[in-house]
Amino acid sequence: MTDSPLRIERDGAVAILTLDRPTSRNSLNRELSLALGAALRDVAGDPSVRAVVLTGAGDGFCSGADLKAGVTEIGAAPLDQRVDEFHAMIRGIVEAPQPFVAAVHGGAVGFGADLALACDLRILSTAGYLQEKFVKIGLMPDGGGTFWMPRLVGLGRAMEYLMLGTRLDAPLALELGLASRVVAPAELREAALAVARELASNAPLALTAIKRAVRASLDGGLDAALEREKQGQLRLLASEDLVEGVLAWSQRRPPTFHGR
């Protein structure tokens, strides 16, 4: 379908999944989140796919949940079900046997940052950045951000970046090890494909074993982290501060939070 919010391509043994809502900087409405979840399940079950590139169309990787669509989608599913649908995307990346490469141009913000962090490798353009911005609208990361960030950058920096909603531009992401390399915007797609092709040329069983062993070596469990985030996020979704944060965002003004 030409109007699908997710573009799926093949480059030999590499699958390319492109979030394709460029006018909203690839924000995740329900249609896109369900489409990506389904595509990840399909990819995981396809032995002809040896590596996956996840990227976004236009000027952004993914700006997170679509706040505007969220207003009209209220009632489409219970909030805990919607959180589970978002978690399915993270689990789909982590549990797939293939290595995932995030190709980040523009912002990977909020849940978009969680998607990028869930991937095994991240390549950023010089205009790319990561930002766990949830706190700015009165929420917390709910896609594994509290799991990935301290393991990737350390507890102290993770607290700072998550609590302040710090924007991590490409040079800093590279310095921190969040990005494996940084390239010019025009070179991003080919750079990500080159890495994915090299991964795809390696023994798939070995790649799967490495991916699973490395992830299993992390202290604690993703499921526990996601459950903590789910319960915390459900409480925050019922808060007045969320209403204020979204209103302030839509009105382009600083929010005034009251802690309730």
Give the active site residues.
87, 142
Residue of 199, 209, 215, 71 whose CA lies nearest to 152: 215
Distance between CA atoms of residues 260 and 257, nearest Å: 8
Residue of 128, 1, 162 whose CA lies nearest to 56: 128
Q: Residue 83 corresponds to which tokens in the numbers above?
A: 């959180």
Residue of 146, 34, 50 whose CA lies nearest to 96: 50
Task: Please tell me the number of Cα atoms within 13 Å of 65 on its side-chain side.
Answer: 22
Packed helices 79-95 and 30-44: angle between N→C axes, nearest 10 degrees = 30
Contact 162, 143 (CB under 8 A): no
Q: What does the chain come to in residues?
A: 260
Parallel/antiparallel/unpaired status of strands 167-169 and 129-131: antiparallel
